[in-house]
Amino acid sequence: MHEILIEEKILARNNEIAAANRQALSERGIYAVNLVSSPGAGKTSLIESMTRHLKDQSISFAVVEGDLEGDFDAKRVEKHGVPALQITTGRACHLDAHLIEHSLPWVLKHEGLKLLIIENVGNMVCPAEYDLGEDSMITVMSTAEGDDKPLKYPAIFAASEVLVINKTDLAPYTDFDIRKARENALKVNPYLKIFEASCRTGDGVKEFAAYIAKLAITKRSLKNT
């Protein structure tokens, strides 16, 4: 019972900080997404692939990267001329609102920012429980992972607004059934907006980027009315 009580307190405190983060980002008209997936599903590649499309739509954005160690992902993103901040979590298997709170001074110093992409630690379990203050959580799953993932890791699919089925170029070489993956995901969360994408071929990335751009523009315009 003690363990559960402590966990509830930690989550309650996390939610308070997340609400403050959300408020701070909203006041500046910045749309925030929390990108989650298992390790290696292609979150960083997706960000890299989206860059050109977001720039085409004049969406100025920054990236906060969460990893246990190293700054590999931040460096990859920066190569595309996108500002990126690396957070290392050490032994923690997810980002939390407190870590994002500490990144906000860096985020907010960028003038005219319309979008903040937070790339969480690769983990299909714990990030589902930790609100960061984002506007939407986006789960990425790859066709190399198995189409039963939504049924085996339901919490993260239930907590997400958007699902990107990534690496569609690999589907012909795996047993992954995209139709079945969609069905399984919608069983867990009937409100999921689902995209299919391949960062290698570029298929579907433009459509996904356009969707995110639209959300960011809508938030900005709501703020200005």
Buried/exposed 181-219: b ≥16 CB within 10 Å, e otherwise = bbebbeebbeebeebbbbbeeeebbeebbbebbebbbeb
Of 38 and 189, nearer to its own copies (C-beta) is 38
- Strands laid side by side in the 31-37 sheet: 84-88, 61-67, 115-119, 31-37, 136-142, 162-166, 193-196
Element (H, E) at 109: none
Work out how close the CB of 81 gets to its own copies at its nearest, in angstroms, rounded to a whole number. Answer: 21
Of residues 70 and 112, the one with the C-beta less far from its own copies: 70
- Looking at the Cβ atoms of 122 and 133, the one nearer to its own copies is 122
For the bound state, the minimum distance from the C-beta of residue 165 to its own copies, rounded and expressed in Å, comes to 12
Pick between residue 55 and residue 76 the one whose CB is nearest to its own copies. 76
| Residue closer to its own copies (CB basis): 3 or 111 | 3
For residue 27, the minimal CB distance to its own copies (Å) is 31
**How many C-beta neighbours within 10 Å does residue 158 have?**
16
Minimum distance of its own copies from residue 144's CB (angstroms): 3
Q: What are phi and psi of 217, to 5 degrees?
A: -65, -40
Site of interaction with its own copies (CB under 8 A): 3, 6, 10, 38-40, 67-70, 72-73, 91-93, 121-126, 129, 141-142, 144-146, 148-149, 151-155, 167, 169-170, 173-174
Half-sphere exposure of 71 (CA within 13 A, CB side): 10
CB of 70 to its own copies, least distance (A): 6
